[in-house]
Structure 1
């Protein structure tokens, strides 16, 4: 990481294969690109969900893929997936409610480099974390199985939005979400 930039939070928000709950691929623990090539594909927009630099194998697959539908409206793609009209590639975050209801199933790819990808919140070390980013971290990262908390217990902290307080542990209200445990994993580990 560049000097003066800190990683506030990291999470594995993997892109995987989304399909109707009764789809034959739902029985697999991980899905190969060869499996996907034999299925009707529903494309959301024209850009690949995974950058070319992350996987040459995926980039080649994406270039050769012929979708049965290309749509820029995610709600329509969701409806088509639920109706069993095909599969698509998304992260779980795009289908939170549908996954909870059991309408769809999400499976990872069987490509190791794709399953190692993480997203994060980066911040110049001289800046405070904006309130909206604090809220996002508290609601998504902390309440998600994707969250990898800093392994030390939180110390009681006054509620504040400064990054220095976040590095020491969650401010008061956030500690309640974690039952007094957790923290933000930063580049320096402090």
Structure 2
């Protein structure tokens, strides 16, 4: 459905691609056609929309303003398309998800499976990244929904759902700490430590507690991959720190043990679901969010039942 000016569609494609040639390739049109629309739009506005740099195109201040308008227009068009499909008795559309790696183990496959069973014509694109990169993906329109740990409230985001999970040490079942109900960070430092890099929320949660410890330490491994840290912990290479989210299979199979941290009380990590503030949601996105929120709430209930 292209009921809006081609200039808006082409401008948004150039903004995302960073070049006219790449935008034309994605749109399957000639570069000259894209360039013509950008030049026309700049003439109508009376200001350049892009800076032409050796590394590619960068939005000017006027371009930033038009980008915000284009994002609202195109996302509202997607909602209208979804509503029209709903009137025809069909659930169709596309959902782009930016998420932390941990939820890809069990939570997100469960949610996508439920959605596809109820709306088989919906397509989904999933990209993984650190929690702190997700707000930018939503604000830029690269993601319809973000799933992230420990995000601070921001005016450009609306929190749709949130659940709390305990951060814990993950170790193999034969590890000396595996039999404990809880464990302190100080006790963990008697063993090799695997630490998340700063772009992961785990690092931010543990940072203040680690800084208060009376002795310094050097992690045996630092990593930005949740999967790598889990695998290393399972092999006995060191203690990693994660919530139970993403460890469901390993915990059920007895390959790992999750021992909640006690730092004068549990160390909680909030797992939230976010969309752009002020956006009217397409029906299929709203359905996806309902399923996701329900799956999160069920897992939080299990977490609380463990005590």
User: What's the TM-score bracket when you normalise by the shorter of the two chains?
Assistant: 0.5 to 0.7
TM-score (norm 1): 0.59
TM-score (norm 2): 0.39
CA contact (8 A) 2:166 2:261 kept: no
What's 1:86 paired with?
238
Q: Larger Rg: 1 or 2?
A: 2
Backbone CA RMSD of aligned residues: 3.5
1:11 maps to 2:163: yes
Distance 1:7 1:46, change over 3 A: closer
Task: Please list the CA deviations of residues 42-89 of structure 1 after superposition, one character each: whole Å capped at 9, or x if unmatched.
Answer: 22434561536x87334445x943111223343332222112221111
Cα deviation for residue 36 of structure 1 reads: 0.9
SS in 1 for 2:299: coil
1:30 maps to 2:30: no
CA contact (8 A) 1:16 1:89 kept: yes
Cα deviation for residue 41 of structure 1 reads: 0.9
Task: State the aligned residue count.
Answer: 145
What's 2:140 paired with?
none
Q: How does 1:39-58 map to 2 (within 5 A)?
A: 39-47=191-199, 49-51=202-204, 56-58=208-210
Residue segments in structure 1 that go unaligned for 5+ positions in a row: 149-190
Choose the corresponding residue for 1:105, options 254, 257, 277: 257
Distance 1:59 1:75, change over 3 A: same
CA contact (8 A) 2:165 2:268 kept: no
1:143 maps to 2:298: yes
Choose the corresponding residue for 1:134, options 290, 297, 305: 290
SS in 1 for 2:165: coil
Q: Answer 1 or 2: higher relative contact order, Cα 8 Å, separation at least 6.
A: 1
Choose the corresponding residue for 1:72, options 194, 210, 224: 224
Cα deviation for residue 101 of structure 1 reads: 1.0
Larger proportion of helix: 2
CA contact (8 A) 1:12 1:146 kept: no
